[in-house]
Structure 1
Amino acid sequence: MLITLKTNKFTRQSLTENLIMKKLWTILLKGSVAVFPALFTLYFFYWLVTTIEKTVSPLIMFIIPEQYYVPGIGLLVGICFLFCVGLLVNAWIFKWVFGLGEKLLERIPLIKSVYGALRDFMHYFSPSGEQKELKKVVMVSINNMQLIGFMVSEAGELPGVDMPDDKVAVYLPMSYQIGGFTVYISKENIQLIDMSVEDAMRQVLTAGLSKKKTAP
């Protein structure tokens, strides 16, 4: 009888400790979910600001004495430089000079591949309306499955390969990682959906766990 009471007491104590540890672990996870996204976002902007500052500051110190340099001037000059480039990007002389630079880069092996990929990637975020087909969100039907994708070309153009006119290129990103597949699929197997690129990308990258917040 005494052994049974001791066993029951030990079991209740173990269950209580497990419940306490589970509760503490749950609270810790909730705190991590609340804090880590903000920390990573702040760290990214910190890295971006410090990178611009470190890159531009040596150039400024060639113009002004070091004792007159104030931290933050490099960032300000970098932002002003990007703003000026944005104003001049449509000027004829700027396009001509920029075109010469592009032709030079496209003649260098390996560099032309990296530059071309980065250029096309940045065009995806261009607000000027270029390459609007990149901003179409589609639902792709494959073997009774529906996948969210992004139309990258309305004509299935593939260098050196004759593609049927009804083919389109669709990019299918993966969840929780940087990567994906570009598939060439018939137009009848895709459907345009009324969803912004940001919401669609968030849904895909979070494996459908993301929930769009509604205004109260």
Structure 2
Amino acid sequence: MRAFKKYLMAGLLIWAPLVITTWVVWTLVSTLESILPESLSARALLGVDVPGLRFLIVLLVLLLTGALTANFIGQALVDRWERLMGRIPLIRSIYNSVKQVGDTLLAPNGQAFRQAVLVQYPRVGAWTIAFVTGVPGGEAARHLSGDYVSVYVPTTPNPTSGFFLMVPRADIVALNMSVDAALKYIVSMGAVAPPPPPQESH
């Protein structure tokens, strides 16, 4: 029975990451391919099924869009498009919200999810890993006195859900670990601890 459990766990450790990675990639490819109509499918264009062709088309469109909007003319067209979207009552709220989140998370020089920290949550004395997402703004900032930071506390083992907190900067502890290492630590429920930082030689 002990050998059975040992070999079962060893097999799970090999297959679980492979299966989950395959599922995530397949889901991503399928979602992106569903954006394009069937008229652009491999069977419609070439007469045979080519897995991933529509995904490559979507990727090519994204790259071309990014290249075209990198110059002055492209940016002017984007500005006109955003002004048009801002005039549609229902669409305006959804579009602006999604765009603000995208600009915050995907900006090359942004600070969101660039640093892992320790915060006391859900009570004083209990610590968890969080990610700095910025500083409070708007009306919320006017009600906070002092230096505060915005952090995202992910749940375990699914880090895509979590809690948004505004905490005093003095109450967080900066960690000398990468965001990837912190995410692995969270997803593994603390079982896969990142290695300690190298000691500086004197």
Instruction: Classify the TM-score, shorter chain.
Output: 0.7 to 0.9
Q: Higher helix share goes to which structure?
A: 1
Whether the aligned pair in 1 keeps the contact of 2:104 and 2:112 (CA below 8 Å) is no
Contact 1:105 1:112 in 2 (8 A): no
* 1:76 alignment counterpart: 56
How far apart in 2 are the matches of 1:89 and 1:56?
Answer: 21
Structure 1 SS opposite 2:36: helix
> 1:183/1:213 Cα in 2 relative to 1: closer, same or farther (>3 Å)?
closer
Distance apart, 1:41 and its partner CA: 0.8
Paired residue for 2:132? Answer: 151
Structure 1 segments unaligned to the other structure (5+ residues) = 1-19
Matches of 2:36 and 2:104 in 1, distance apart? 25
Identify unmatched segments of 5+ residues in structure 2. Answer: 197-202
Indicate conservation of the 8 Å contact 1:151/1:171, yes or no.
Answer: yes
Quote the RMSD (CA, aligned, Å): 3.3
What CA distance in whole angstroms lies between the structure 1 residues aligned with 2:169 and 2:78? 37
**AA aligned opposite 2:173:** Q
**SS in structure 2 at match of 1:132:** coil
Change over 3 Å in CA distance of 1:140–1:94 after alignment to 2 = same
Higher Rg: 1
Poorly superposed stretches of 4+, deviation over 6 Å: none
Q: Deviations over 1:70-126 (max 9, x none)?
A: 525433322221221222232233333333443444544377347624751574244
Q: How many pairs does the alignment contain?
A: 189
Q: Which has the higher contact order (CA 8 A, sep 6+)?
A: 2
Percent pairwise identity: 18
Q: What residue in structure 2 maps to residue 209 of structure 1?
A: 191
Matched, 1:89 2:69: yes
Match of 2:180 in 1: 198
1:176 aligns with 2:157: yes
